[in-house]
Amino acid sequence: MPLVHISLRSGKSDAYRQAIFDGVYHAMRGALETPEDNQFMAITEHTSANFRFGASYLDIARSEDLVFIQITLNNTRSSEQKKALFQRIVEQLGDKPQIRSEDVFINLIEVEKENWSLGNGIAQYA
């Protein structure tokens, strides 16, 4: 049950943002075997004054097109699945909307399964 928060600089087209949604979703379906239609994602856009990053931290040359992708998910995935997810997201977003791999910053937040309520006040996975 991934919950995806995506942050980027403002000014990108609707098609660009939709391509990010699609790419992340397809990467999760492949690498994490996320069920079909398990799409819970939000994009937040920021002005340059409200979007800060290390342009060369760890010798990675980031640009103003940097995208932060934070995914909250169950703590049931292996290290191999996580690495595959990172790679698939970069590949998907490199293809469309053509984001450089250096500009894809991904963070996973793992939680216990009982920490979700997907509606109706019920802990569906508990």
Provide the 8-state DSSP code for 82: H
Q: Is residue 42 pLDDT above 90, yes or no?
A: yes
User: Which domains occur in the chain, in start order?
Assistant: 3-115 (3.30.429.10)
Q: Is residue 57 pLDDT above 80, yes or no?
A: yes
- Rounded to whole angstroms, the Cα distance separating 87 from 94 reads 10
Average pLDDT over residues 62-86: 96
| Catalytic positions, written as ranges | 2
- Rounded to whole angstroms, the Cα distance separating 99 from 101 reads 6
Q: Give this prediction's pTM.
A: 0.94
pLDDT of residue 124: 85
Query: Is residue 45 a contact partner of residue 8, using CB atoms and an 8 Å limit?
Result: yes
Average pLDDT over residues 75-97: 97
- Rounded to whole angstroms, the Cα distance separating 14 from 91 reads 20
Angle 17-76-8 from CA coordinates, rounded to 5°: 20
Percent of the chain residues past pLDDT 70, beyond the cut = 100
- Rounded to whole angstroms, the Cα distance separating 121 from 116 reads 10
Q: Is residue 126 pLDDT above 90, yes or no?
A: no
Averaged pLDDT of the chain? 95
| Residue 36: pLDDT band with limits 50, 70, 90 | very high
pLDDT of residue 79: 96
